[in-house]
Amino acid sequence: MLKFTPILLAILYALVMYRFSVWRTGKELDAKSTELADPVLKRLTDRMAAALDLARIRVNIYEIAPVNGLAAPDGRIFITRGFYDKYRAGEVSAEEMASVIAHELGHVALGHSRRRMIDFSGQNALRTALAMVLSRFIPGIGVLIANALTSVLAARLSRSDEYEADAYASALLVKAGIGTGPQKSLFTKLERLTAQHSGPVPAWLMSHPKTDERIKAIEANEAKWLRT
């Protein structure tokens, strides 16, 4: 039993840290966000709400500069001020912004936040177990190898979540009569909009799938839906 204690402690530590992160994120979002009030975007979110049989979809503006959308663990949807400014400047269309909101709704509807807590706990336990085993055979660098392997696993799981949220968004956009065109066109702009592309990164280490792979997945879903 004692030999499993470090692993159990790692799981407990991961759960505590995740809960703390959720609490801290919620406080940050409460302090730095307000409800989005944009009549053009509201017309589009109302169409998506009708497709989901909801009264409305509330979207919030998170007052930070980076271009991003996010789904909070409590189910709230946020667009950053930086992203909204790109829309106001004409660099992003209203329909493209709607595709971001649909994607974040997908994360909420598919329970990715809850699943991420389980994944994080499992990864922490796996990292601890691997470090214990590898350090016996490769003292000094066993921990580094364990960290690298679990980082690769985390990136793979994150990419899986993104594909699922993309598929949910595509289905919602089609049902709402907006279509997947804006979703695909936005993907082609993201690297420039986020200004985070600083060189080639191995695809298996990226937390988001490659742009062309995301578009291919959307088109494959569309073809499947047409067949059925």
Average confidence score pLDDT of the chain: 80
Mean per-residue pLDDT, 120-147: 61
Whole-model pTM: value is: 0.74
Number of CB atoms found within 10 A of residue 23's CB: 11
Give the alpha-carbon dihedral of 216, 220, 226, 228, to 10 degrees.
-170
Dihedral (CA of 83, 87, 90, 95) sign: positive
Measure the CA–CA gap between 166 and 221, rounded to whole angstroms.
10
Burial class (CB in 10 A: 0-12, 13-18, 19+), 43: exposed
Residue 49 CB partners (closer than 8 Å, separation 6+): 55, 56, 57
Highest mean pLDDT of the ranges 67-71, 123-127, 166-170, 207-211 = 166-170
Residue 105 CB partners (closer than 8 Å, separation 6+): 48, 52, 57, 71, 77, 168, 169, 172
Per-position b or e across 143-162, b if 16+ CB within 10 A of its CB: beebeebbeeebbebbbebb
| 100: nearest Cα among 13, 191, 186 | 186
Measure the CA–CA gap between 59 and 76, rounded to whole angstroms.
7
User: β-strands 77-80, 33-35: how paired?
Assistant: unpaired
Give the alpha-carbon dihedral of 25, 27, 31, 35, to 10 degrees.
70
Q: Does residue 106 contact residue 167 with C-beta atoms inside 8 Å?
A: yes
- Min mean pLDDT across 2-16, 36-50, 59-73 is at 2-16
Q: Which residue has the tokens 């569309």?
A: 222
Percent of the chain with pLDDT strictly greater than 90: 46
pLDDT at 64 over 90: yes
User: β-strands 69-71, 77-80: how paired?
Assistant: antiparallel
What pLDDT does 198 receive?
A: 44
